[in-house]
A and B are shown apart, each in its own frame.
Chain A
Amino acid sequence: MFVRLFQYKVKRLFRTKDELFWCLVFPLILGTFFYMSFGGFQDKQETFQAINIGYITTETGKDEDFDQVLMLLSKDGKDQIVRIKTTKEEEAKKLLLDKKIAGIIYNTLEVTLTVNGEGINESILNSFLNQYIQKRETFTKIAQISPDKLNEVLELEFKDSSYLQEIRFTNASIDPMTSYYYALIAMTCLYGCFAGLSSAIDIKANMSTLASRRLVAPTNKMKIILGDFFGAVFVQFICTLITVCYIIFVLKVDMGQKINYLMLTAFVGSLIGVTTGLFIGSIGRQSENVKSAIVLAGTMVECFLSGLMVGNMKDIVERHAPIINRINPATLIVDSLYSLDIYDTYDRYMRNMISMLILATILCIGSFLAIRRERYASI
């Protein structure tokens, strides 16, 4: 029975023109539009922007080698990786607070790093420093144990790598434009709200005759709603996957290698999109049109705050009202994708996923409680 209901819901959704437009055609058009306005992504190595830092050093006790390496990396030109904005501590601290620089590197008695935030630039600096320190230890050890080998090792080291390659955690694309595509994927997921909304309306006897018709059948209400619900999630998932594939394979945007995690994100994202619609559909007695308008407007606001229209919106929100970023499903999706791309570890990704699952569960329970009612006072 459940399978039948599921199949019919899927069939119905794929035949609903509005649904297909919002969940499939619109994201593809928007993606293409982004592509045309940002241009291609082939040049992203060149477009890498040097990271602004503050560099504080003292004449005594500083690590000379590090000093040299940093000077090398900050040399003007195509390969420039860091740009030293200031060497004065006071100014550097001020710049750091204003986010004008990504971090302050101290080369005093010890090489240390102070950052403000957890963006990609901060991560690069952090990794770079760790790598340096680790290598320094290694070389020092080699020098102590077998000094004659040191030259060989050093030669090898410099031949096969540039620092840039090494400090990358993954093969991440660090083009800031990618965040627009993340937001686009989030939007596609969240458009599941329409399918969720229709699932709710089709089971509320005071909102549609179709619901009355289904409720007088000898089929459990929960079974019907679950069939519809998972049908909606499935369709939304497919639409999101198509959008993701279009972005990766047609627009050739680099989304990293973790395809299975990407799919998991798309699934959980679709889930939360559908539950949002289900919830709005379940509560209150506004007409279907009003509810559609509410979910559409809500989704647009969520997407706006996650950076669909203004790229760094997410950071702005993070500074002024971080709580919004923790509960805005669009931001959670964007941040999941972002952290997949940037980090080797899955801590932040998991944090986002769990937030989304909790949110979805709350919305689901709320919806089911609202729908559960057995008889209506008025139809």
Chain B
Amino acid sequence: MSAAVIKIENLVKRYHELVALDHFNLEIKEGEIFGLLGPNGSGKTTTINCILALLSFDKGNVEVFGEEMAPNKYHLKQDIGIVFQNVAVFNELTVYENIEYFCGLYIKNKQTRKQYVEEAMEFVGLNDFKSFYPKKLSGGLLRRLNIACGIAHKPKLIIMDEPTVAVDPQSRNKILEGIVELNKKGATIIYTSHYMEEVEQICTRIAIMDKGKNLAIGTKEELKMMIKTGETINMEVLEIEDKNLEEIKKLPHVYQVEYKENKLHIKCSKGKHNLIRVLDYMQTNQIAFGRVYAELPTLNDVFLEITGKELRD
């Protein structure tokens, strides 16, 4: 089994009355792309700041690379790369200079640094903007610069706090591919995001947190297994009587039926032949319907069930 890169035990962090982290536990292993999912204010950023020893906390332990983290543990910091949620670059420095500046806080050798900076620029696709000032960059390009500044020094552990907000889908894909590539080259990655698809796409393991607590943890398959929903059947139906809705609900495995805006959503728990049974019923009762499609549960469903709210509001 691979070693724990990060180990958080019983972490409690209070901001006055507010409990931002409530006996939070987390263990991240080497080589993972770990997704930290949680609605706004659930404590993701707070967790990250505690890992980095920026924040003091009330209780608990934080270990990084098997050692307790502290502000002056420079040998640990050397191997951590961080992309903060808020863009942190110097407005008076160009794209190149910014990356060079931050890389220079880690890499002393000039030659190596130059090479790393160029690779980072290539990595986020900012080559054409080398001498631009951050103010002149669009929101998405700025995010990419933020990423480049965080990873240029080739860290072993990369922490990214919602790095792709405001990045267009095309560049986002490029970034995600890049992250997978960094991971393949050996970096462990912690990734927080509001974009479920991103997390599903790249993360090997996912934790769902809310109100400072770790509610569920596992691979996406494991998480999906945890919830009741096995499959959702959607069909376009122009009209249907309440009596029929009641009867559909009584079909095996069906536990929730919803009809709104001419669409019928039928949620079924795990089991086979759900779709066939529903279609059968419709035909027998001569209810006209249009397009039919079945959906497997998404992380959003998982999230909805576990926390009782949508991830993105």
Q: Which residues of A contact B (CB under 8 A)?
A: 1, 4, 8, 11-13, 15-16, 205, 208-210, 212-221, 374-379
Contact = CB atoms under 8 A, between A and B. Distances in A.
B77 A8 contact: no
Contact of A217 (B55, B56, B102, B108): B102
B308 to A, nearest CB: 28
Interface string B69-83: 011101101101010
Interface residues of B, number: 32
Contact of A379 (B49, B70, B74, B82): B49
Nearest to A19: B92
Interface string B146-183: 00010000000000000000000000000000000000
Given A8-B93, A12-B92, A215 B71 contact: yes
B49 A212 contact: yes
B84 A212 contact: yes
A216 B56 contact: no
B55 A218 contact: no
Nearest to B108: A1
Contacts of B106: 217-218
17 contacts: A208-B88, A209-B87, A210-B90, A212-B54, A212-B84, A213-B88, A216-B52, A216-B80, A217-B105, A217-B106, A218-B105, A218-B106, A219-B105, A374-B70, A375-B55, A376-B56, A377-B56
B102 A216 contact: no
A223 B149 CA distance: 20
A11 B56 contact: no
Contacts of B104: 1, 4
A333 B167 CA distance: 52
A209 B55 contact: no
Contacts of A220: 74
B contacts with A: majority SS: loop
A374 B82 contact: no
Given A213-B82, A217-B102, A218-B75, A16 B54 contact: no
Contacts of A217: 77, 102, 105-106
B54 A205 contact: yes
Nearest to A208: B88
Contact of B54 (A8, A11, A15, A215): A215
A216 B56 CA distance: 14
B120 to A, nearest CB: 15
Contacts of B71: 215, 221, 374-375
Given A205-B54, A375-B53, A377-B56, 13 more contacts: A8-B90, A12-B92, A15-B93, A209-B84, A213-B102, A215-B54, A215-B71, A216-B77, A374-B53, A377-B15, A378-B15, A379-B49, A379-B55
Contacts of A375: 53-56, 71
B138 interface: no
